[in-house]
A and B are shown apart, each in its own frame.
Chain A
Amino acid sequence: MAAGEHSHEGMWVFPAPEAVTQDMAEKAEAMPKAIARALAVTGILFALGIAGFVMRALDDGFGAHGPWGYYAAIFMFLFMVTGAAPLAAVAFRFTKSHWRRPLSRVSELFALLGVLNVIMFIPLMIVLPSIKNPEVGVEELEIRRSIWFETPIGAPLAWDFLGLLFLAICSLAILWLSAMPDMAEGRLTATGFRRKLYSLLAGRWYGTKRQWILHKVGLGLLGAFYFMLLVFVQFTVASDYAMSLVAGWKDSIFPPLFTLTSFQSSLGLILVTLFIMRRWGGYEQYIGVSPFWSASKILLGLTLLWAYHTFAFLITFWYGRLEIEQNVLKYFFFEAYGGAFAANLFFSFILPFLILLWNPVRKTDWGPTLAGLSALCGAFIFNLKTFVGAFNAGDVYAIFFEFIPGPTWPDLWDVFMVVGGLGAAAFIYLAATRLFPILSVWETKEGAKYQKMDTLVRGRYLVLAKPE
């Protein structure tokens, strides 16, 4: 720490604008061995996943929704994490925070996974039991409880699907718009098919004043729209595939809890990606510690909020002695899936909290990353527990969830599908990093203008300028 230097070592980096373009161009062209190997591995996993899916389909068909619990879980996990990831770029662009600059493209690239979500959702549409009870048995409802009371046209499937579709489109639009200036640069520097692709996508971008203004406004509007859409879709999908499959489980905090978990885990995912780029990707001179440090505070807040929402749910159900509530608690939290809940609690709250509690740890790049990783695992267990449980909770048309089944363990095909889903996501993302500049060049350059080190009386401090 230099004399009178009052910012943490490596906290802020100001890359030289002219160097960036060149360097990024090279990085985009290069194909390191590590990435090639990773692509191969994830590709194999992807194939496994498809195999598992086919076998499951052959074994059980699409008649009953029970066997598809694990498929639903992995879909929900991917949707939860990748759906919320682009929000990081959007939200921090709203707050005009400078530390977001290296982080925004990393988060936007997850938009490409929206397509995967849409495709993976199709089988789930088939297995979801209809809202109207086909034949009404003893103590059964004619219409099972769901957020679509009298089932408007095509509900719930059509609406969920449309929501996911719009979500994918909207996020792709955000990615395209925010990558446009970079690709316009790429037109000149890149070679081969990239050159064609970039010149195609960049269109008539020449960076005129007007274009920049439209760019800013467009990103803002799309971002706001995406945020609202995401919250809505998460609400519908989550409650359709978890809550309304458990007869009589009425829990108004579940959608917010799901959304909160998605924010927490997606931020974690982004931090992990950033860390990999910074450590092994050779992006050290673009990614300072400041993104980790600033994001860590938000991650801590989200972690605490997660615990808070969970407790609010638990204590309300514990206090109310209604039979259905007791059964839900027993099933999801204490008896059948008790272990899963304990693990979920540990990874989503206890571990990240204990890591992020310490300011020195938060000022490193590995601390927040570890917390993020554990949040990611927590979200994964959360989804397994919730959706596998919900898919196997017995008669969906019953008046209330009366008879508690035991936990459902995965068979081989389930394992295949789960790893396959993860592999697919990783594969697509890695491929995307080869296609698009993974660092948002224009934002980095813009940032270099607005931040500098300056002297006040005797000490040197960071100066942040905030344009109106």
Chain B
Amino acid sequence: MARKPILGLFEDPNYAAEAGDALQRANILPQDYDFLTDAPYPEGAFGERHEKHRLYVFPFIGALIGLTVGIILTSMTQLAYPLTQGGKPILSLPPMAVVTYESTMLSAIIFTIIGILFESRLPKIKKGLYDTRITEGYIGVLVNVDEEQLNQVSGILTQAGAVDVVQET
């Protein structure tokens, strides 16, 4: 059966939270509803489920890759031109350390960015159900349910004090 999104808009965060509780009572799974806000509320403000993420892995992988690339690149370029300069060794480490450090940080940061986008599931090609009022301070409760439950859910939302309930047309 097809699942359809439905979005309730609330002015007061407390109502939104109550809507959340009501949905829980109507045993709708926590991963089926979501709170859309225009600013970060501290985690768990709506009693929503805790989001698990593996973001911290990315910078480490990135750093490792950057480190290897840096070392290979710097040593390779020095060995490729075996020209003595100023009596310094052909493979002189302190300069290597500098450039390698930069490459390490660079790739660590790039991987972090990738990680952030990946973990927050962006970019989203089709945005799904959305309402521009959310960025005006309204709090949206986005629920994904089976079609026959739609009316029940919209009832719950309006009961909880939704200013408006939007559905896909």
In the complex, are there CB atoms of A and B closer than 8 Å? yes
Beta-carbon contact of A321 and B44 below 8 Å: no
Contact of A457 among B41, B56, B94 (CB under 8 A): B41
CA distance A14 to B86 in the complex (A): 63
Beta-carbon contact of A458 and B45 below 8 Å: yes
Beta-carbon contact of A459 and B87 below 8 Å: no
Contact of A459 among B14, B16, B42 (CB under 8 A): B42
Beta-carbon contact of A458 and B94 below 8 Å: no
Q: How far is the CB of A303 from chain B (nearest CB, A)?
A: 16
Q: For the complex, is B13 an interface residue (Cβ under 8 Å from A)?
A: yes
Contact of B42 among A314, A315, A359, A461 (CB under 8 A): A461
CA distance A456 to B86 in the complex (A): 65
**Contact mask for chain B residues 86-115; partner A; CB cutoff 8 A; 1 contact, 0 none:** 110000001001100000000000000000
CA distance A457 to B12 in the complex (A): 10
A457-B86 contact, Cβ under 8 Å, with A314-B94, A315-B94, A315-B98: no
Beta-carbon contact of B98 and A457 below 8 Å: no
Beta-carbon contact of B43 and A459 below 8 Å: yes
Interface centre among B17, B87, B94 (most CB of A within 10 A): B94
Which of chain B's residues 1-47 have a Cβ closer than 8 Å to chain A?
13-14, 16-17, 20, 41-47
Contact of B94 among A4, A318, A461 (CB under 8 A): A318
Which of chain A's residues 393-451 have a Cβ closer than 8 Å to chain B?
none
Contact of B43 among A6, A311, A315, A359 (CB under 8 A): A6
Range for the number of chain A residues in contact with chain B: 10 to 19
Residues of A within 8 A of B94 (CB): 314-315, 318-319
Beta-carbon contact of A321 and B87 below 8 Å: yes
Interface residue total, chain B, C-beta cutoff 8 A: 18
Which of chain A's residues 273-322 have a Cβ closer than 8 Å to chain B?
311, 314-315, 318-319, 321
CA distance A319 to B93 in the complex (A): 11
CA distance A319 to B56 in the complex (A): 37
A457-B87 contact, Cβ under 8 Å, with A314-B94, A315-B98: no
Residues of A within 8 A of B16 (CB): 457
Interface centre among B17, B44, B47, B97 (most CB of A within 10 A): B44
Q: How far is the CB of A309 from chain B (nearest CB, A)?
A: 15
CA distance A315 to B94 in the complex (A): 6
CA distance A305 to B42 in the complex (A): 32
**Contact mask for chain B residues 39-66; partner A; CB cutoff 8 A; 1 contact, 0 none:** 0011111110000000010000000000
CA distance A326 to B46 in the complex (A): 64
Q: How far is the CB of B70 from chain A (nearest CB, A)?
A: 16
CA distance A318 to B47 in the complex (A): 58
CA distance A458 to B35 in the complex (A): 13
Contact of B47 among A314, A321, A459 (CB under 8 A): A459
Closest partner residue, chain B, to A461 (CB atom)? B42
Closest partner residue, chain A, to B44 (CB atom)? A459
Interface centre among A6, A318, A458 (most CB of B within 10 A): A458
CA distance A177 to B98 in the complex (A): 48
Residues of A within 8 A of B56 (CB): 359
CA distance A6 to B45 in the complex (A): 10
**Contact mask for chain A residues 455-468; partner B; CB cutoff 8 A; 1 contact, 0 none:** 01111010000000
CA distance A170 to B61 in the complex (A): 50
Residues of A within 8 A of B87 (CB): 321
Q: How far is the CB of B17 from chain A (nearest CB, A)?
A: 5
Q: How far is the CB of A215 from chain B (nearest CB, A)?
A: 35
Which of chain A's residues 324-361 have a Cβ closer than 8 Å to chain B?
359
Given contacts A6-B43, A311-B97, A319-B94, 4 further A-B contacts (CB under 8 A): A318-B94, A321-B87, A457-B46, A459-B45
- Listed in ascending order, the chain B residues whose CB lies under 8 Å from chain A are 13-14, 16-17, 20, 41-47, 56, 86-87, 94, 97-98
6 examples of A-B residue contacts, CB within 8 angstroms: A315-B97, A458-B20, A458-B47, A459-B43, A459-B45, A461-B42
- Listed in ascending order, the chain A residues whose CB lies under 8 Å from chain B are 4, 6, 311, 314-315, 318-319, 321, 359, 456-459, 461
